[in-house]
Amino acid sequence: MREIRTSGSMSGDGKRSGDLASTRAHPRLYSWLVAYRWTKSLDTDSGASWASPTQRTACLNCDYGPSDFDIRHRFVSSTVWDIPLGRGKRFLSSLNRLADLAAGGWSLSAITTFQTGPWGNIFGSNATGDSGLNAHRGDCDLIGHNSIYAPGDLRSNGILWLNPANFGNPATGFFGNCGRGVFGGPGLNNWDIGALKDFRVSERLRVEFRSEFFNAFNHAQFDLPSTGAVGTGSQVNNPGFGRITSAERPRVIQFGLKIYY
């Protein structure tokens, strides 16, 4: 069985999305679901779920940009494979009871997720003396828009995500020229894998053993970099600026045993 579904939506509040999903299944053998979503959500304030409130409530349109929760691309694949080995299966169906307890009844599952990261903001000092500011944006593109991100790989450049030379504080009497959501944060690359063994002890008694590996390959899932303080002066002089300081959970392994009777 194979099924492909598509959908799309557009709303007046600045949100657009498109979905593509495909399902394929074989009775008593495997099932596979693949889904991709593209979204673009724009607003003036996302409630500080990731980034910040508006810079100035008297100018909401000044903060019109990507929503804090806007994940532009997301791909998810879910697979369950019933391994066809053992009694009653396609291969080795004539195994004796003892051998079947070891080789039969296995199934594997995996959920794979790839997605782009959330959007982040650049903060600086309040150079205007305006007490009505909720947040203070910094200056961007000091050396060019194509120099937002730090060169090199995170694992070789000291986990530096942003290029500090491209950001600074606004001049006295001016607002920072950084818009809202000016850079994209690290994305997600995650694999959750499970193995299940089904033991048929008798006609009425069945035992299920399950092992699950979350973030199975222990891939570092980095959070947004630190942008809370540019420092003083026109150039960034905060050594922590633009640097990744936290990540999501590492690999987690758990085991379970379930008895059916």
pLDDT of residue 2: 56
pLDDT of residue 85: 78
In this prediction, residues 205-231 reach a mean pLDDT of 87
pLDDT of residue 76: 95
pLDDT of residue 174: 82
Retrieve residue 137's tokens: 């944006």
* Range picked from 12-21, 143-152, 191-200, 233-242 for highest mean pLDDT: 191-200
Q: How many domains does the chain have?
A: 1
Specify the DSSP element, H or E, that contains 100.
Answer: helix 97-103
pLDDT of residue 79: 92
Residue of higher predicted confidence among 144 and 33: 33
**Which of 34-38, 52-56, 86-90, 134-138 is predicted with the least confidence, judged by mean pLDDT?**
52-56
Under the banding of pLDDT at 50, 70 and 90, the label for residue 219 is: very high
In this prediction, residues 166-177 reach a mean pLDDT of 83
Specify the DSSP element, H or E, that contains 34.
Answer: strand 30-43
Burial-class residue 253 by CB neighbours within 10 Å (0-12, 13-18, 19+).
exposed
Domain span at residue 252 reads 2-260
Residues 6 or more apart in contact with residue 102 via CB below 8 angstroms: none
